Amino acid sequence: MKIIKTKCPAKINLYLKVGNLRKDGLHNIRSRFQLVDLYDDLMIKKTNCDFLIKSNLNKKKFLQNNILNLAHYHLTQETGDNLRCEVSLKKNIPIGAGLGGGSSNAASFLVATNKLFKLGLSLGKLNKIAAKIGADIPFFMHGKNAYVYGFGNQLAQSKNYNHKLLIIYPNLYLSTAMMFNEFDKANITKKNLKNDFMYVFEKNYSEVYSFFNDANDKYGLEFLMSGTGSCFFTPWVRNESTKLFLEKIPKKWRFFLVEPLQYSPILNI
């Protein structure tokens, strides 16, 4: 086997609560992660050259800072092998959007590379590597919907969410680290929110927040933010009110109609 192809799904947070700051500098969280059928496409091919990433998002900064570089580094450190390969990544999931695209890419890369090079690493060992790279990666490696605790490394089985969703990306890149930093500065103890970062988003991006907040009053659509943002989602209802709302979405924004997934393609690698 010289090539492995797979799809990397996005996720949404049906709720997200932030707990105490840990000694390692990370926050404990409580959340419910739901996989959806919005995918990036990943192909890994063995080569005789150094590690290389190619993508339809052909920006130097994106390629240099891509999480797959970190995943490859930690995997080579663990195994002592060069793991010479070329990665082709077709990005469909918006970046900096709270949908976990990068973490999903890294999870699929770790599992696929382990199989492609016959490294023989257990899921437990891969999860230890994943924990060094990003908090959401263990969830995506798990491949099933879950309640998520700790810094994102503790998982408990959850039921599948059974409703089509409308996801809107307001063409806004948000750094997870920046949003946690803003959260630490804010006092939200009196806010009763499904996603604790909604207050931070409202404070810093009031115009975009108002667009989604007004959708409830004007069109009966209740939006919730996924992760640390910037995507918002709502259950999809096909009616005249929703049709009118879709016409109001700014042209530079993107929206997706998605179905919930029960399992991730990562389980078939």
Query: Residues 7, 40, 91, 136: which is the catalytic one?
Result: 136
Query: Residues 11, 40, 91, 196: which is the catalytic one?
Result: 11
DSSP 71-117: HHHHHHHHH-----EEEEEE--SPTTSSS-HHHHHHHHHHHHHHHHT
Could you give the 3-state DSSP secondary structure of residue 15? strand
User: In angstroms, rounded to a whole number, what is the distance separating the alpha carbons of residues 227 and 98?
Assistant: 4
Confirm whether 184 is a catalytic residue.
no
Burial of 214 (0-12, 13-18, 19+ CB in 10 A): middle
Round to the nearest angstrom and report the end-to-end CA distance of the chain.
12
What is the DSSP pairing of strand 52-55 with strand 85-90?
parallel
SS3 content of the chain, % helix, strand, coil (to 5): 35, 30, 35
Confirm whether 136 is a catalytic residue.
yes
Q: Which residues are catalytic?
A: 11, 136
